[in-house]
Amino acid sequence: MSLCPACRKIGVTNLTRELGELPPWWGQARSKSTKPRGMVHLDDAQHLIASAATGCPFCQLIVSAVLQHNSAANISGCSIQTPEGQIERDVRQLEDTLAPQPIYLQTTYDPVKPSFPEHGTSRSWHIRGLKALVPVDHGLLVGRIRLFAAHDSPEGASCDIIGRPPLPSSDSPEAFYLIERWLSTCLAKHEACRESVSSTAIDESLPPILPTRVIHVGDSDDASTLRLLQTKGQRGHYVALSHCWGPPDHRPLMTTRSSLTDHLAGISWETLPQTYRDAISATGHLHFEYIWIDSLCIIQDSHDDWLSESQCMGDVYQHARLTIAASHAADSGQPCFFTRPPAPTVVELPHMGPDGQTESSMFASVLFSDYDSISPESGSLADRAWASASFHSTARNTRWKVIVEKYSTRQLTQRTDRLIALEGIRSEMVKKRANDEYCFGLWKNSMPDQLLWYCLKPAERSRCELDLPTWTWASTFDRVRFFDIKGAKNACDGFRFDETTKTLTFRSATRDISGLALLADLAEVAEDDVFADAPRDIVAADILYALQDDANQHIGWCALDEPELPNVDLFCLQLMSKTTKPKPASGVEMAYRNWVLLLREALPISKYSNALVWAGSSRPLRGSRTAAVRIFEFDDPSTTHVFKLRCPSGLLARLATIVDSRTTCSSTDFSRI
Intra-chain end-to-end CA distance of the chain, in Å: 71
> How far apart (Å, rounded) are the C-alpha atoms in residues 138 and 13?
32
Q: What is the mean pLDDT of residues 200-215?
A: 91
DSSP letter string, 186-230: HHHH-GGGGB-TTSPBP--SSPPBPPSEEEE---TT-GGG-EEEE
Percent of the chain with pLDDT strictly greater than 70: 66
Please give the mean pLDDT across all residues of the chain: 74
Confidence of residue 648 (pLDDT cuts 50, 70, 90): very low
> How far apart (Å, rounded) are the C-alpha atoms in residues 13 and 160?
10
Give Cα 198 to chain centroid, integer Å.
19
The pTM score is 0.66
CB atoms within 10 A of CB 634: 15
The secondary structure element, H or E, covering residue 324 is strand 322-325
> How far apart (Å, rounded) are the C-alpha atoms in residues 35 and 113?
16
| Residue 545, pLDDT score | 74
Tens digit of pLDDT for each residue in 597-639?
Answer: 877 766 543 332 222 222 222 222 222 333 334 343 333 334 4
Tens digit of pLDDT for each residue in 278-287?
Answer: 999 999 999 9
Q: Of the candidates 594, 581, 590, which has an alpha carbon nearest to the alpha carbon of residue 673? A: 594
CB atoms within 10 A of CB 140: 19
Domain spans in the chain, listed from the N-terminal domain onward: 5-165+345-370, 196-327+375-434, 435-671
Confidence of residue 340 (pLDDT cuts 50, 70, 90): confident
Highest mean pLDDT, choosing among 160-164, 416-420, 511-515, 582-586:
160-164
| Residue 469, pLDDT score | 84
Confidence of residue 289 (pLDDT cuts 50, 70, 90): very high
Residue 199 φ/ψ region, left for φ over 0, alpha for ψ in the -120 to 50 degree band, beta for the rest: left
Highest mean pLDDT, choosing among 455-459, 516-520, 595-599, 644-648:
455-459
Confidence of residue 373 (pLDDT cuts 50, 70, 90): very low
| Residue 526, pLDDT score | 52
> How far apart (Å, rounded) are the C-alpha atoms in residues 44 and 135?
9
Residue 86 scores a pLDDT above 50 = no
Q: What is the mean pLDDT of residues 385-408?
A: 58
Give Cα 282 to chain centroid, integer Å.
27
Residue 336 scores a pLDDT above 70 = yes
| Residue 172, pLDDT score | 87
Helices (H), 225-268: 260-265
Pick 234 or 342 by higher pLDDT. 234
110-126: burial string, b at 16+ Cβ within 10 Å, e else:
beebeebbbeebeebbb
> How far apart (Å, rounded) are the C-alpha atoms in residues 38 and 108?
9
Residue 358 φ/ψ region, left for φ over 0, alpha for ψ in the -120 to 50 degree band, beta for the rest: beta
Pick 467 or 523 by higher pLDDT. 467
Instruction: Tell how strand 544-548 and strand 518-523 pair up.
Output: antiparallel
| Residue 33, pLDDT score | 55
| Residue 238, pLDDT score | 97
| Three-state DSSP class for residue 333 | coil
427 Cβ partners below 8 Å, 6+ apart?
Answer: 311, 314, 315
Tens digit of pLDDT for each residue in 14-65?
Answer: 998 888 888 777 665 555 555 678 999 999 999 999 999 999 999 999 999 9
| Residue 95, pLDDT score | 85
